[in-house]
């Protein structure tokens, strides 16, 4: 019997994996609002090195994200997740012990090497039913967003009491807590055969990078996280110069983030109901352009608060919309690869934001940093204008095992002729047929009858 509710195993999976993911991201995010201030006490510090320290984890995250997913296919999800958390803890301790900016940056890079996102999502897929999987993924996604909000509040508070090293030691403790959760609460499962809907395929990466529609989204998430990371090289410093104590910065961040969510949610609902996703998507990019341009012109305290509010309305809308669009556009049976490339682009954006933001701030000043962000957002707006979103669809996977290899191509062609089928892919290694179908008109009976007759 099928149920439209999560069963106990799925609830346990959602809560435990979301907790692990959120704990790890909390440790990464806490540095963003405080590094530009507390990093000034480190030997060899400069705006460029501050940017490198903030963004260094992004480079190693981008490099290790897909390989760690592959390793989880071979050696088991939980082992790789624990390994990633151990690496993350080691990097945190190295950064906590550091007295110079170079060692802090090395520690941050090691933190990023513990890239567990793909293994966590693959484990979530392994132990959940396909029809319930989006709910589990949504819980994980919401917890990541919540961890960002908590980090902007908690980071300045911890740094005020225990300094920069205290923040890193706390991230190491959080990693240990994550390991305990994995070993005690996260369900144990036998890893399934690699699935193109879950983990990346090495043979498909190049084709995903050449898909123009996906490329627009990958470029978009890179720019989005580049802008967000580079902003935090400037914003904490500007707050402090305005006489706003670092320990009180959370009093600005928290209301801004909460109110931005309040304004963002109706945008998502209206965009979906009125089938105006692209228009609202471009509008959100326009908010990034406007806020960055306004910050380039005026860095008074009141203007910073107002523009951060506008920026995060756009940021939160785009952060929620981009992965959904990747899922819709990615070919049937290749979602794992598309999301792998997307995630790597996201973390590469964080790295580039730290590097370029630090360089521009050091060489030209904060005004040019905001102006360059505005210019990048304009470029993204132009690039995104050519985006074509498919009709609302869902994914269906059908187990398939047959010795008859002669007419497989004919079978797929016939399935594509069935009402509501947008795309069909047969993956022989997985003995499974992947479909992208129109939610309203999909003729499930005809598809199942074709497969039954073929066997």
Pair 24, 116 in one domain: yes
Pair 418, 431 in one domain: yes
Per-residue pLDDT, 83: 95
Higher pLDDT: 287 or 329? It is 287
Pair 106, 49 in one domain: yes
Over range 286-303, report the average pLDDT. Answer: 96
Pair 397, 386 in one domain: no
Per-residue pLDDT, 432: 75
Q: How confident is residue 117, by pLDDT bands cut at 50, 70 and 90?
A: confident
Task: Say if residue 379's pLDDT is above 90.
Answer: yes
Per-residue pLDDT, 429: 59
Q: pLDDT digit string (tens) for 89-114? A: 999 999 999 999 999 999 999 999 98
Per-residue pLDDT, 89: 95
Which of the residue ranges 206-210, 289-293, 346-350, 367-371 would you say has the lowest mean pLDDT?
206-210
- Give the end of a domain, one of 375, 390, 405: 390
Per-residue pLDDT, 402: 61
CA-closest candidate to residue 116, choices 146, 144, 94? 144
Which DSSP category does 391 fall into? P
Q: How confident is residue 1, by pLDDT bands cut at 50, 70 and 90?
A: very low
Which residue range is the domain that position 282 belongs to?
203-390
Pair 288, 150 in one domain: no
Task: Say if residue 352's pLDDT is above 50.
Answer: yes
Task: Say if residue 162's pLDDT is above 70.
Answer: yes
Q: How confident is residue 130, by pLDDT bands cut at 50, 70 and 90?
A: low
Dmax over Cα atoms in the chain, in whole Å?
Answer: 75
Pair 15, 141 in one domain: yes
**Number of neighbouring beta carbons within 10 Å of residue 231:** 24
- Token pair belonging to 416: 């594509």
Task: Say if residue 234's pLDDT is above 60.
Answer: yes
- Give the end of a domain, one of 146, 170, 199: 199
Classify the phi-psi angles of 76: left when phi > 0, otherwise alpha if psi is within -120 to 50, otherwise beta: left
- Token pair belonging to 404: 């008859």
Which of the residue ranges 123-137, 264-278, 318-332, 350-364 would you say has the lowest mean pLDDT?
123-137
Cα separation, 16 vs 140, whole angstroms: 9
Over range 301-316, report the average pLDDT. Answer: 95
Q: How confident is residue 362, by pLDDT bands cut at 50, 70 and 90?
A: very high
Per-residue pLDDT, 381: 97
Over range 332-347, report the average pLDDT. Answer: 79
Pair 248, 307 in one domain: yes
Per-residue pLDDT, 339: 78
Q: How confident is residue 150, by pLDDT bands cut at 50, 70 and 90?
A: confident
Q: What is the 3-state secondary structure (H, E, C) of 297-328?
A: HCCCHHHHHHHHHHHHHHHHHHHHHHHHHHHH
Q: How confident is residue 69, by pLDDT bands cut at 50, 70 and 90?
A: confident
Q: What percent of the chain has pLDDT over 90?
A: 42
Mean per-residue pLDDT of the chain = 85
Pair 135, 28 in one domain: yes
Q: How confident is residue 134, by pLDDT bands cut at 50, 70 and 90?
A: low
Which of the residue ranges 16-25, 33-42, 115-124 would you say has the lowest mean pLDDT?
115-124
Which CATH number belongs to the domain containing residue 216 in this structure? 1.20.1250.20
Which residues lie below 8 Å from residue 375, measured CB to CB, with a gap of 6+?
none
Contact between residue 192 and residue 317 where contact means Cβ atoms under 8 Å apart: no
Q: pLDDT digit string (tens) for 315-338? A: 989 988 888 788 777 776 677 777
Task: Say if residue 13's pLDDT is above 60.
Answer: yes
Task: Say if residue 354's pLDDT is above 90.
Answer: yes
Per-residue pLDDT, 102: 95
Q: pLDDT digit string (tens) for 411-428? A: 777 888 888 887 777 766
Which CATH number belongs to the domain containing residue 402 in this structure? 3.30.70.100
Pair 330, 446 in one domain: no
- Give the end of a domain, one of 199, 227, 244: 199
Pair 52, 167 in one domain: yes
Which DSSP string do the residues of 42-111 spell out, in sequence order? SBT--HHHHHHHHHHHHHHHHHHHHHHHHHHHHH-HHHHHHHHHHHHHHHHHHHHH-SBHHHHHHHHHHH
Pair 224, 79 in one domain: no
Chain mean position to CA 400: 32
Over range 42-57, report the average pLDDT. Answer: 92
Higher pLDDT: 102 or 15? It is 102
Which DSSP string do the residues of 326-390 spell out, in sequence order? HHHHSPTT-HHHHHHHHHHHHHHHHHHHHHHHHHHHHHT-HHHHHHHHHHHHHHHHHHHTT--PP
C-alpha separations of 104 from 34, 96, 114, 239 in Å: 14, 7, 16, 24
Q: pLDDT digit string (tens) for 180-210? A: 999 998 877 655 545 555 666 666 777 777 7
Task: Say if residue 405's pLDDT is above 60.
Answer: no
Q: Considering its fold, how many domains does the chain have in total?
A: 3
Pair 149, 265 in one domain: no
């Amino acid at each position: 019997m099928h149920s439209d509710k999560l069963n106990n195993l799925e609830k346990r999976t959602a809560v435990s994996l979301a907790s692990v993911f959120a704990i790890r991201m909390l440790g990464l995010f806490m540095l963003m609002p405080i590094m530009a201030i507390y990093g000034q006490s480190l030997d060899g510090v400069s705006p460029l090195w501050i940017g490198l320290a903030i963004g260094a984890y992004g480079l190693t995250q981008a490099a290790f994200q897909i390989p760690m997913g592959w390793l989880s296919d071979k050696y088991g999800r939980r082992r790789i997740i624990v390994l990633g958390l151990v690496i993350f803890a080691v990097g945190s301790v190295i950064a906590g012990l550091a007295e110079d900016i170079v060692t802090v940056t090395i520690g941050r890079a090691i933190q990023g090497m513990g890239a567990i996102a793909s293994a966590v999502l693959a484990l979530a897929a392994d132990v959940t039913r396909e029809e319930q999987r989006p709910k589990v993924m949504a819980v994980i996604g919401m917890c990541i967003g919540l961890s960002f909000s908590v980090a902007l509040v908690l980071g300045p508070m911890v740094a005020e009491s225990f300094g920069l090293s205290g923040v890193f030691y706390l991230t190491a403790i959080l990693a240990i807590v994550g390991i305990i959760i994995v070993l005690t609460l996260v369900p144990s499962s036998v890893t399934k055969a690699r699935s193109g809907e879950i983990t990346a395929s090495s043979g498909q990466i190049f084709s995903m990078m050449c898909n123009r529609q996906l490329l627009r989204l990958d470029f978009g998430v890179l720019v989005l996280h580049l802008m967000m990371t580079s902003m935090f090289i400037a914003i904490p410093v500007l707050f402090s110069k305005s006489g706003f104590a670092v320990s009180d910065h959370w009093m600005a961040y928290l209301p801004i983030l909460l109110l931005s969510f309040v304004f963002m949610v109706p945008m998502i609902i209206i965009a979906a109901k009125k089938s105006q996703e692209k228009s609202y998507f471009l509008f959100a990019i326009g908010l990034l352009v406007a806020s960055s341009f306004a910050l380039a012109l005026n860095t008074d305290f009141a203007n910073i608060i107002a523009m951060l509010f506008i920026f995060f309305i756009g940021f939160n809308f785009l952060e929620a919309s981009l992965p959904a669009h990747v899922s819709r556009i990615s070919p049937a049976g290749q979602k794992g690869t598309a999301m792998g490339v997307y995630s790597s682009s996201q973390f590469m954006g964080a790295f580039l934001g730290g590097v370029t933001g630090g360089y521009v701030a050091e060489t030209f000043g904060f005004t040019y940093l905001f102006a360059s962000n505005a210019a990048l957002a304009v470029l993204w707006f132009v690039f995104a204008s050519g985006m074509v979103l498919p009709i609302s669809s869902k994914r269906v996977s059908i187990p398939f095992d047959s010795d008859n290899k002669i007419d497989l191509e004919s079978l797929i062609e016939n399935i594509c002729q069935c009402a509501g089928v947008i795309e069909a892919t047969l993956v022989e290694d997985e003995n499974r047929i992947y479909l992208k179908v129109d939610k309203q008109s999909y003729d499930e009976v005809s598809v199942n009858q074709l497969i039954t007759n073929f066997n």
